[in-house]
Protein backbone atom coordinates (compact mmCIF):
# COMPACT_ATOMS: atom_id res chain seq x y z
CA UNK A 1 0.00 0.00 0.00
CA UNK A 2 1.27 3.47 -0.90
CA UNK A 3 1.60 5.46 2.32
CA UNK A 4 1.52 8.85 0.58
CA UNK A 5 -1.74 7.99 -1.21
CA UNK A 6 -3.23 6.77 2.09
CA UNK A 7 -2.27 9.97 3.92
CA UNK A 8 -3.62 12.25 1.14
CA UNK A 9 -6.90 10.34 1.02
CA UNK A 10 -7.40 10.83 4.75
CA UNK A 11 -6.27 14.46 4.74
CA UNK A 12 -8.19 15.68 1.68
CA UNK A 13 -10.89 13.05 1.25
CA UNK A 14 -11.38 10.61 -1.56
CA UNK A 15 -10.47 12.15 -4.90
CA UNK A 16 -13.39 12.71 -7.26
CA UNK A 17 -13.47 12.21 -11.02
CA UNK A 18 -14.51 15.35 -12.95
CA UNK A 19 -15.78 17.36 -9.97
CA UNK A 20 -16.48 20.39 -12.20
CA UNK A 21 -18.88 18.37 -14.38
CA UNK A 22 -20.66 17.08 -11.31
CA UNK A 23 -21.03 20.59 -9.89
CA UNK A 24 -22.26 22.01 -13.19
CA UNK A 25 -24.84 19.31 -13.94
CA UNK A 26 -26.33 18.89 -10.46
CA UNK A 27 -24.28 15.85 -9.47
CA UNK A 28 -24.04 14.19 -12.89
CA UNK A 29 -21.26 13.67 -15.38
CA UNK A 30 -21.62 15.56 -18.67
CA UNK A 31 -21.66 12.36 -20.72
CA UNK A 32 -24.66 11.06 -18.75
CA UNK A 33 -26.79 14.17 -19.37
CA UNK A 34 -29.55 14.05 -22.00
CA UNK A 35 -31.09 17.46 -21.29
CA UNK A 36 -29.83 20.43 -19.29
CA UNK A 37 -31.80 23.64 -19.08
CA UNK A 38 -30.67 26.76 -17.24
CA UNK A 39 -32.80 29.07 -15.14
CA UNK A 40 -32.76 31.59 -17.99
CA UNK A 41 -34.23 28.99 -20.35
CA UNK A 42 -37.17 28.10 -18.09
CA UNK A 43 -37.85 31.45 -16.42
CA UNK A 44 -41.08 32.26 -18.30
CA UNK A 45 -42.39 28.77 -18.82
CA UNK A 46 -40.98 25.29 -18.81
CA UNK A 47 -40.59 23.88 -22.35
CA UNK A 48 -43.03 21.09 -21.53
CA UNK A 49 -42.86 19.34 -24.92
CA UNK A 50 -39.05 19.20 -24.80
CA UNK A 51 -38.99 17.77 -21.27
CA UNK A 52 -41.68 15.20 -22.11
CA UNK A 53 -39.88 14.18 -25.31
CA UNK A 54 -36.62 13.74 -23.39
CA UNK A 55 -38.26 11.65 -20.67
CA UNK A 56 -39.87 9.45 -23.34
CA UNK A 57 -36.56 9.05 -25.21
CA UNK A 58 -34.68 8.08 -22.02
CA UNK A 59 -36.98 5.88 -19.93
CA UNK A 60 -34.10 4.81 -17.63
CA UNK A 61 -33.23 8.42 -16.86
CA UNK A 62 -33.73 10.56 -13.80
CA UNK A 63 -34.83 14.19 -13.61
CA UNK A 64 -32.96 16.55 -11.27
CA UNK A 65 -34.75 19.78 -10.37
CA UNK A 66 -33.13 22.81 -8.77
CA UNK A 67 -34.89 23.20 -5.44
CA UNK A 68 -34.36 26.95 -5.44
CA UNK A 69 -36.55 27.57 -8.47
CA UNK A 70 -39.82 29.40 -8.05
CA UNK A 71 -42.72 27.27 -6.92
CA UNK A 72 -44.57 27.59 -10.25
CA UNK A 73 -41.67 26.18 -12.28
CA UNK A 74 -40.99 23.50 -9.66
CA UNK A 75 -44.63 22.42 -9.70
CA UNK A 76 -44.65 22.21 -13.51
CA UNK A 77 -41.55 20.00 -13.51
CA UNK A 78 -42.79 17.84 -10.64
CA UNK A 79 -46.16 17.42 -12.34
CA UNK A 80 -44.42 16.27 -15.55
CA UNK A 81 -42.29 13.76 -13.63
CA UNK A 82 -45.20 12.42 -11.61
CA UNK A 83 -47.51 12.15 -14.62
CA UNK A 84 -44.90 10.10 -16.47
CA UNK A 85 -43.95 8.08 -13.36
CA UNK A 86 -40.38 9.30 -13.92
CA UNK A 87 -37.91 9.29 -11.00
CA UNK A 88 -36.94 12.77 -9.79
CA UNK A 89 -34.80 14.50 -7.19
CA UNK A 90 -35.00 18.05 -5.86
CA UNK A 91 -31.45 19.37 -5.44
CA UNK A 92 -30.93 22.05 -2.81
CA UNK A 93 -27.47 21.45 -1.36
CA UNK A 94 -24.56 23.78 -2.01
CA UNK A 95 -21.91 22.86 -4.51
CA UNK A 96 -24.09 21.75 -7.42
CA UNK A 97 -24.85 25.07 -9.12
CA UNK A 98 -27.27 26.10 -6.40
CA UNK A 99 -24.75 27.67 -4.02
CA UNK A 100 -25.70 31.33 -4.46
CA UNK A 101 -28.42 33.03 -2.49
CA UNK A 102 -30.07 34.33 -5.67
CA UNK A 103 -30.44 32.19 -8.75
CA UNK A 104 -28.53 33.35 -11.80
CA UNK A 105 -29.67 32.82 -15.39
CA UNK A 106 -26.72 30.44 -15.96
CA UNK A 107 -27.54 28.13 -13.04
CA UNK A 108 -29.04 24.77 -13.92
CA UNK A 109 -32.80 24.54 -13.48
CA UNK A 110 -33.43 21.00 -14.67
CA UNK A 111 -31.18 18.13 -15.75
CA UNK A 112 -32.32 14.82 -17.18
CA UNK A 113 -29.57 12.24 -16.95
CA UNK A 114 -29.01 8.52 -16.81
CA UNK A 115 -27.19 7.91 -13.53
CA UNK A 116 -25.80 4.56 -14.70
CA UNK A 117 -24.39 5.03 -18.20
CA UNK A 118 -23.43 7.68 -20.78
CA UNK A 119 -26.07 9.07 -23.11
CA UNK A 120 -25.48 8.25 -26.75
CA UNK A 121 -27.26 11.32 -28.15
CA UNK A 122 -27.91 14.45 -26.10
CA UNK A 123 -30.82 16.76 -26.81
CA UNK A 124 -29.93 20.11 -25.21
CA UNK A 125 -26.96 21.15 -23.08
CATH code of the domain containing 87: 3.30.1330.30
What is the domain range of residue 34? 3-113
Percent of the chain with pLDDT over 90: 18
Instruction: Please determine, for residue 115, whether its predicted confidence score (pLDDT) is greater than 70.
Output: yes
Residue 33 in any domain: the answer is yes
Instruction: Please determine, for residue 19, whether its predicted confidence score (pLDDT) is greater than 60.
Output: no
Instruction: Please determine, for residue 117, whether its predicted confidence score (pLDDT) is greater than 60.
Output: yes
Instruction: Please determine, for residue 18, whether its predicted confidence score (pLDDT) is greater than 70.
Output: no
Instruction: Please determine, for residue 118, whether its predicted confidence score (pLDDT) is greater than 80.
Output: no
Q: Distance from CA of residue 13 to its chain's centroid?
A: 23
Domain total of the chain: 1
| Bigger pLDDT: 112 vs 116 | 112
Nearest to 1 by CA among 87, 9, 22: 9
Residue 30 in any domain: the answer is yes
Instruction: Please determine, for residue 1, whether its predicted confidence score (pLDDT) is greater than 60.
Output: no
Angle at 55 between CA 53 and CA 60, to 5 degrees: 145
Separation CA 106–CA 108 (nearest Å) = 6
Angle in degrees, 0-180, between the axes of helices 48-57 and 71-83, rounded to the nearest 10: 40
Tell me the pLDDT tens digit for each residue of 51-99: 999 999 999 899 999 888 888 888 999 999 999 999 999 887 655 554 5
Residue 106 in any domain: the answer is yes
Residue 76 in any domain: the answer is yes
pTM exceeds 0.85: no
Do 58 and 119 meet the contact criterion of CB atoms below 8 Å apart?
yes
Q: How confident is the model at residue 100 (pLDDT cuts 50, 70, 90)?
A: low
Residue 14 in any domain: the answer is yes
Residue 125 in any domain: the answer is no
Amino acid sequence: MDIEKYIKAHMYGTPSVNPDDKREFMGNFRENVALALTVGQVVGAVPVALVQRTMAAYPTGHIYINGRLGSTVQHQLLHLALAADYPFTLITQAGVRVHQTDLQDGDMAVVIADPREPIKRRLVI
